Structure 1
Amino acid sequence: MPIATHASPHVVEEEIKRSRFITYVAHTPSIASAKAFVEHIKHIHSDARHNCWAFNAGAPNSTMLLGCSDDGEPSGTAGRPMLAQLCGSDVGEITAVCARYFGGTKLGTGGLVKAYGGGVKLALSKLETKVKIPMTAVSFECSYQDQNIVDALLNETEHEKLNTTFNSTIIMDTHIESASVAQILDQIKNATQGRVMGKVKD
């Protein structure tokens, strides 16, 4: 899943018929972080006429974690065009906020849609992204004689070791690529003849 490279926002500014549109986009991995980012930009631009926003806090094609606001602009002219750009970008976990400083000339509904949607489109075109691989927390308890088998099979898939505890047995806490969890659990179970059973954590 492509996401923004880091949480620091990317900013673009346009002047349209003397109104200033300052658009911020940033990586926000949850609804809470998306709302916090919106409030942060609204605080920075507390003197703006409008601070319109949109977010998709999930995967690029998800429709479960969305939100938007026109913040006083005519209904449907700001938040929805901004959200449409986010949802069509193939980038997930992202929020856009656009501060508008009114320049005295009304743009009409079509002009507003173009301005707000266009600002997000421009910001996204300059945004650096990276691929986020969904991971699942899995714990393994094994004997010392089975450690090499478990390690070897884990090394065949995308994973991250979080913590390893050595006592009478070895407990490995890991993150494993979600798409590979079922396969790796079966492989380890079979290779150790059922001695090692991975436990998926909530």
Structure 2
Amino acid sequence: MSLAYFAIVCLICGDNQAKSACGWSELPKDWQIWAKNCINYQNVGQWHFVIKECVVSYQTLSLPCTATYEIKKSEFLAFAYPIQTREQLLAWVQHLRQQYPDARHHCYGYIIGDPHNTTSAGFDDDGEPNGTAGRPILSVLQHKAIGNCLIVVVRYFGGIKLGAGGLTRAYATAAQMVVDQMVLSQFVPQTTLRIKTSFAHEAQLRYLVLAAGGEMLQVDYALDVCATVRLDAARLKEFVASLGVYGQLLDSQ
């Protein structure tokens, strides 16, 4: 079974054998109930693709940026990076640990995906009192609704304790200062499809992709034509409906 980003929620087939093949039984019960109650689907051959209506775009960071905040001899170096995977965020954190090995703390907060409905957000206090560092950093990202973004705050301790409240305010201030330096752009979720068509219908398929604002990434020729297509996830339902006899959707991601 393939789950497209904010688009294809699940696959339903008309017979039990097909349901088993696509992993229907592995779906959470509430997803099964939701899918069965959903009347807004498109037939593509024997498959029924249940399409989620709301595909949300959101603000994200265009380029890395930095800011510095000082209070009571403690220095807070804030760094912001655009990310799309957890591997990327861990790589940036490790980079800063190596660049500032003598710093007392390397705390961070991040959101991967839509900040309004994220499936991957988190923080790390890195030795600071629980909830006084990573949590306020993440709260700034959530309040500003910035997705696919990592903020790391590197702290050099100045010898004067700030207290829990002071730490929370300091990390939040550093995070806000780096947010103020950000150049933001609109992130639009996209999905990639593989479509099989005939040689006779290739030109029409290309027209449909163009009309949906998509692009042909790759075309393979064998007995049939197999095209890899990318388009905005919000246009997926419209595009699938337009295929008709001109193409068969093989999979999506």
- The TM-score, its normalising length taken from structure 1, stands at 0.89
Give the aligned residue type for 1:156.
A
Q: Secondary structure at the match of 1:106?
A: coil
State the Cα distance separating 1:172 from its structure 2 match. 1.4
- Distance in 2 separating the partners of 1:105 and 1:78: 17
CA RMSD of aligned residues (A): 1.7
Unaligned runs of 5+ in 2: 1-57
User: More deviation in 107-116 or 22-31?
Assistant: 107-116
Unaligned runs of 5+ in 1: none
Q: Find the counterpart in structure 1 of residue 237 from structure 2.
A: 182
Q: Which runs of 4+ in 1 moved over 4 A?
A: none
Q: Find the counterpart in structure 2 of residue 198 from structure 1.
A: 249
Residue 136 of structure 2 is aligned to residue 81 of structure 1: yes
* 1:97-112 → structure 2 map (5 Å cutoff): 97-112=152-167
**Is the contact made by 2:209 and 2:215 (CA closer than 8 Å) also made in structure 1?**
no
**Is the contact made by 2:112 and 2:118 (CA closer than 8 Å) also made in structure 1?**
no
**How many residues matched?**
196
* 1:87-126 → structure 2 map (5 Å cutoff): 87-126=142-181
Q: Find the counterpart in structure 2 of residue 2 from structure 1.
A: 59
Give the aligned residue type for 2:251.
V
- Distance in 1 separating the partners of 2:206 and 2:118: 38
Q: Find the counterpart in structure 1 of residue 71 from structure 2.
A: 16
Residue 76 of structure 2 is aligned to residue 25 of structure 1: no
State the Cα distance separating 1:201 from its structure 2 match. 2.8
- The TM-score, its normalising length taken from structure 2, stands at 0.72
Residue 189 of structure 2 is aligned to residue 134 of structure 1: yes
Identity among equivalent pairs (%): 27
**Is the contact made by 1:136 and 1:200 (CA closer than 8 Å) also made in structure 2?**
no
State the Cα distance separating 1:33 from its structure 2 match. 1.4
**Is the contact made by 1:34 and 1:57 (CA closer than 8 Å) also made in structure 2?**
no
State the Cα distance separating 1:174 from its structure 2 match. 0.8
**Is the contact made by 2:195 and 2:251 (CA closer than 8 Å) also made in structure 1?**
no
Q: Secondary structure at the match of 1:113?
A: helix
- Distance in 2 separating the partners of 1:48 and 1:106: 15
**Is the contact made by 1:25 and 1:123 (CA closer than 8 Å) also made in structure 2?**
yes
- 1:16-63 CA-to-partner distances (Å, cap 9, x unmatched) read 111111001101111221122112112211101111111112211234
Please point out which of 96, 102, 108 is paired with 1:53: 108
- 1:130-173 CA-to-partner distances (Å, cap 9, x unmatched) read 22221111122223332232122211223222111244533211
Give the aligned residue type for 1:53.
Y
Q: Secondary structure at the match of 2:84?
A: coil
**Is the contact made by 1:18 and 1:102 (CA closer than 8 Å) also made in structure 2?**
yes
**Is the contact made by 2:59 and 2:187 (CA closer than 8 Å) also made in structure 1?**
yes
